[in-house]
Every structure is written in C-alpha cells, then in structure tokens.
Amino acid sequence: MAGSQFAYVRNFELPDPVLPNVYMVVRIDGKGFHRFSDAHDFAKPNDGRALELMNEAARHVVQALKPDVVLAFGESDEYSFLLRRSCSLYKRRASKILTQIVSLFTSAYVFCWSEIMGKQEELKYPPTFDGRLVAYPTAKEIRDYFAWRQADTHINNLYNTTFWALVHADNADGLGERRAHETLKGTVSSEKNEILFSRFGINYDKLEPMFRKGTTIVWGESTPEEEADAEEDAAAGAGEGPMKSQEKEKGNRSRGAPELRTLHVDIIGKEFWTAPSEQPGRRV
Ligand code: DGT
Ligand code: MG
Ligand code: MG
Ligand code: MG
Ligand code: MG
C-alpha cells in the first residue's frame, strides 16, 4: 500500500494516558493577561464583564464535555476544570484532553467577546491560554486543590482591592503605586481589612461575591424558585401558538433535569461538597 514504507513514523507517537480511576484537573491561564487587561482597559482590580466572559467560555467547556466535567472554578484569568474519575474522553490521553479544553475555552472566549464585552469593545489581538493537566488520586486532594485556588482568589482580591483603593484615593491621601506597595508590604489580612474600613469605609465582606469567592460552575437541580418560574412560564404559554408551547415543553422538561449552575460561594468548607440542595449526593 502506498505510504506504508513511511507509516512506521507513527510508532514515534507515544501514548500518554492518565492512570485509570483518578480525578483529572485541567487548569487554563491567560497568557500575558497583565498586558491583555491593560490593552483592553479592564477595570481594576476586577472587571465584571471580563470575568463574565471567562465564566461564559467555561460554561461552553462544561456543556461540551458533559458529563465528564463535573465542576469548574474560575478567578482572574484562570479556570480549573474537574473531570470525573470514570472519564474516558480520548481514552484518557492527557495531551488530547488538555488541548481540547484549552482550544475550546480560547475559541469560546473570542466567540463570546462582543456579546459580553459590548460591540464597541474591539478585540485588539488574539488572546491565548496555556494549560496543564494534573491527576489526583482522592477526593481529599480535589477539595484541597479547589480550596487552594479559592484561597488564592481571596488573598489576591484583598490585596488588589486595598492596593487600588490606596492608589485611587481621590483626596490628598492618594498614593502612587510605589507607595501603595510599600504601605501594604508585610501587612496581614486583618490590617488590609482595617485600612479598607477605616480609610475608605469599605466593608470587604460586602464586596461582590464573584470578586471575593471566584466563580464555581456545577451541574445541579433547579431550585424551588426556578421551578415555580418555569411552571408559571409554562402555564402562561398554554395554547398560545407554537413558540409558547415550545417554551412550555422546555419548562416541563427542565424540571428535575440537571442544569448548569453558576455560583459565587465558599468552596473551602465542607458544606459545599456535601450540601444536598446543590446536588444530590456528594460532588466527588
Ligand atoms: P502569565 O500567566 O505568566 O502569562 O502572565 P499574566 O500576565 O497572565 O499573569 P497572571 O496570570 O499571573 O495574572 C493575571 C493578570 O491578569 C494580572 O496581571 C491581572 C490581570 N487581570 C485578571 N483579571 C483582571 C481584571 O478583572 N481586571 C484587571 N484590570 N486585570 C485583570
Ligand atoms: Mg500564569
Ligand atoms: Mg495569566
Ligand atoms: Mg493567572
Ligand atoms: Mg483529525
């Protein structure tokens, strides 16, 4: 067969399977987002729309890789995706799984850019993301992994919020960036909280949960309120033409079916991992 004398090169393609029956976590991170966020005038320290764009790109990944991705957590320019232990995607080949997620996330980020950032916000150059895949043997490492990422969210957000408050103070106290760094050097959390409260009247705990807790995406049951809404919609639509009856059908079908939930909650404590209201059974 033509080409068979060349086909031996295939033997150089070594398999890279991940061990069976272990959790996999893929973390993607924006490349050079310090520059990217400046170039696109992201608000400091947190740009709500830019974070929503990250969340939307992540939802694309979770949807597309259903049911293998069971949880995603994002903050800043990064997102972590947890794959269930029984995942058999690409026969568990690490490079295939990793590149698929990085590629899908990146293209979704670009695809959704104008919808979320606004049509007038030009994408000035192609954003890229790097990624890594790590295997973890037990639920303990998984919970500690996500606790580690959320603790990072908190530390960075508290620092950045205090830093930019010091820099932007619109009175004679306004420090330059260098002096703000100096002021915060060596301070512990309680001191930053105190600066925020006494100098700027900011109660850190009242700031947006998305900024403080990051974003967690999980499959879950709809809440009783959402079900009531769906029922209301369905009832209102009864007998009112094809569009309405389709909505009704959708409302009916979604009842009890797992749907994507976007949360900004504590995932360090054990409640998140065991709460029956969020998902029947344990998450991992
Ligand atoms: P890397 O990941 O090594 O290629 O380098 P960077 O520049 O992406 O650095 P990284 O990932 O450690 O830190 C994320 C950067 O993205 C950091 O400079 C702050 C910026 N960034 C992320 N989210 C926001 C935001 O909402 N607003 C602003 N202004 N900047 C953000
Ligand atoms: Mg990085
Ligand atoms: Mg980055
Ligand atoms: Mg980062
Ligand atoms: Mg192909």
21 within domain boundaries: yes
Q: Ligand 1: which of 76, 117, 155, 161 to mutate, judged by most atoms within 8 Å of the beta carbon?
A: 76
Ligand 1 within 6 A of 54 CB?
no
Q: How many CB atoms lie within 10 A of CB 112?
A: 18
Structural domain including 60 reads 15-149
119 and 24 in a common domain:
yes
Last residue of a domain, one of 120, 149, 178: 149
Q: How many domains does the chain have?
A: 3
Ligand nearest to the CA of 90: 5
Query: In terms of DSSP H, where are the helices of 12-138?
Result: 33-39, 48-64, 94-111, 113-117
Taking the C-alpha atoms of residue 181 and residue 45, their distance in angstroms, rounded to an integer, is 14
Average pLDDT, the chain: 89
The pair phi, psi for residue 249, each rounded to 5°, is -60, -45
193 and 88 in a common domain:
no
144 and 109 in a common domain:
yes
Q: Residue 33 C-alpha to ligand 4 middle, in angstroms?
A: 7
266 within domain boundaries: no
Ligand 1 within 6 A of 50 CB?
yes
Last residue of a domain, one of 105, 122, 149: 149
228 within domain boundaries: yes
269 within domain boundaries: no
Q: Residue 129 C-alpha to ligand 4 middle, in angstroms?
A: 10
Taking the C-alpha atoms of residue 90 and residue 131, their distance in angstroms, rounded to an integer, is 17
Query: What is the mean predicted confidence (pLDDT) over 229-253?
Result: 47
Contacts 24+ apart (CB under 8 A), 192-198: 192/158, 192/159, 192/162, 193/158, 195/162, 195/165, 195/166, 196/161, 196/162, 196/165
The pair phi, psi for residue 179, each rounded to 5°, is -70, -30
171 and 69 in a common domain:
no
103 and 76 in a common domain:
yes
Q: Ligand 1: which of 35, 51, 77, 106 to mutate, judged by most atoms within 8 Å of the beta carbon?
A: 77
Q: Is the pLDDT of residue 118 over 70?
A: yes
196 and 92 in a common domain:
no
For residue 235, what pLDDT band results from cuts at 50, 70 and 90? low
270 within domain boundaries: no
Which atom of ligand 1 is nearest to 33's Cα?
8
For residue 175, what pLDDT band results from cuts at 50, 70 and 90? confident
196 and 90 in a common domain:
no
144 and 81 in a common domain:
yes
Percent of the chain with pLDDT over 70: 83
How is residue 154 annotated by DSSP? H
- Tens-place pLDDT, residues 180-214: 999 999 999 999 999 999 999 999 999 999 999 99
Q: Ligand 1: which of 34, 40, 79, 128 to mutate, judged by most atoms within 8 Å of the beta carbon?
A: 34
For residue 221, what pLDDT band results from cuts at 50, 70 and 90? confident
Which atom of ligand 1 is nearest to 35's Cα?
7
3 within domain boundaries: no
274 within domain boundaries: no
